[in-house]
Structure 1
Amino acid sequence: MFIRRESFSQYIKMYPVVSTIIAVNIIIFIITLIPGIGDEIFYAGISVNGLIAAGEWWRVITSMFLHAGFMHILFNMFSLFLFGPELEKIAGKMRFLTIYFLAGIFGGAATFAFEDAMYASVGASGAIFGIIGAFGALVYYTRHTMPQLRQIIVPIIVISVFMTFVQSNINITSHLGGLVAGFILGLFYFKPKNMIRWRNK
């Protein structure tokens, strides 16, 4: 399910939304490495609760495209590369986008609500946890018909949540917020009657 066997060109053609998001993140990361302008872009987009409270609400969104280092973007983009395609295929392009962005925004909003004014964060992990949460909803609906899916997804969710709490410098609130948002959206999108309706359009 999460083993990618496509060539580079096949991957881009089959999963254009995931490919575009990965490309945008990489391009922005490279730009932030440019001396001078890179720092300005980074600090203009980073999520800082105090600045968001002052009216700079866009930081909840822009911070989703910023990363704090090579390993940070590598891990996030590899996770998106691995888990994103199957959800894009199942949900469709626009629904995938909705899950990705709303989960990321909800993770940022949760961070704003529960962390102090000095709290700052960047990264796409809240949105990526939204993807995992959406798969959790799919498991809920297919628990009787596709038990093998549960055997794949549940350990991924458990391990992801566990690693959230044991690793340092992790925005736990964003991870959990994204996970919950993705699950709720998945419950709506993957409800059997909804899937039948939009697949028959």
Structure 2
Amino acid sequence: MPKQSVLPPIVISALLFCCFYFLTPWHDDLLMRYPRVMDGFWWQLITSQFMHHDAPHLWFNIAGVWIAWLLFPDQLKTPHNWLVGLPILLTSSIVELFGAPTYEVYAGFSGTLYGLFAYAALKDALNRNWIGGVVFAALVIKILMDWDQPETGDAIAVFAHVGGAIGAVSLVFAEKLALKRNTK
């Protein structure tokens, strides 16, 4: 059995770190703003996920990348497994864009992180791995609590987290459907 690759969390951490610390002069152009995206600044759907409002925000997200890597060695084993982060990232941004268009600005990787956790946890749970079931249930409970009591979390973050989770669950079931079709 091949070992789990440490390359994806290193690359993602370095990317998040570099975007925050080295792209400061362009920070304003890389954050997602509803009017700008509607005016054609489509790249903000992607770049906003790699930007952060402050250092603690950045470091919590980097810690989350490593926690996902540690918790889900079977689901996030190779660099290829981490590619699910791209459609999750876009889904997170699109849901927050249309779910909270009145918010001034969005930045952060937490929507993608929620999606990576949901993806790996749901796949683990479907493979009858108890840790996946526990993490997936906790994620659903956290999202429902934030949705029901928005004062406990920033409303735009709730939409980002919901978007990431929706993207992840959709991917898991699309993969299962594709696998089912290929085995017929």
TM range (shorter): 0.7 to 0.9
Matched residue, 2:58: 73
Distance 2:132 2:5 in 1: 22
Name the residue aligned to 2:19.
28
Q: Is the 8 A contact 1:18 1:85 kept in 2?
A: no
TM superposition shift of 1:130: 0.8
Q: Tell me the CA shift for residue 193 of structure 1.
A: 7.7
5+ residue gaps in structure 2?
A: none
- Corresponding residue for 1:53? 38
Cα pair distance change 1:86/1:118, threshold 3 Å: closer
CA displacement at 1:95 relative to structure 2: 3.6
- SS of the counterpart of 1:90? coil
Structure-2 residue corresponding to 1:16: 7
SS at match of 1:116: coil
**Deviation at residue 140 of structure 1 after TM alignment:** 4.9
- The CA deviation at 1:114 is 2.4
Distance 2:155 2:60 in 1: 14
Q: Which moved more, 1:53-62 or 1:164-173?
A: 164-173
**Alpha-carbon distance in 2 for matches of 1:161, 1:129:** 13
Q: Which residue of 1 aligns with 2:129?
A: 146
Q: TM-score, normalised by structure 2?
A: 0.80
Partners of 2:131 and 2:38 in 1: CA distance: 45
Segment drifting more, 128-137 vs 147-156: 147-156
Distance in 2 of aligned mates of 1:180 and 1:171: 14
Shift of 1:72: 0.5
Q: Quick check: 2:37–2:44 contact (8 Å CA) kept in 1?
A: yes
Unaligned runs of 5+ in 1: 1-10, 33-37
Aligned residues: 175
Two-structure CA RMSD over aligned residues (Å): 2.9
In structure 2, the partner of 1:186 is 172
Identity, in percent, stands at 14
Measured at CA, do residues 70 and 160 of structure 1 come closer, stay the same or move farther in structure 2, by a change above 3 Å?
farther
1:25, 1:65 within 8 Å by CA — same for their partners in 2? yes
Offset at residue 153 of structure 1 (A): 3.7
Counterpart contact for 1:64–1:123, Cα < 8 Å: yes
Q: Which amino acid aligns with 2:12?
A: I
In structure 2, distance between residues paired with 1:157 and 1:118: 24
CA separation of 1:149/1:54 partners in 2, compared to 1, >3 Å: closer, same or farther? closer
Question: Would the aligned equivalents of 2:110 and 2:161 in 1 still touch at CA under 8 Å?
Answer: yes
Which residue of structure 1 aligns with residue 69 of structure 2? Answer: 84
8 Å CA contact 2:61, 2:113 repeated in 1 = yes
TM-score, normalised relative to structure 1 = 0.74
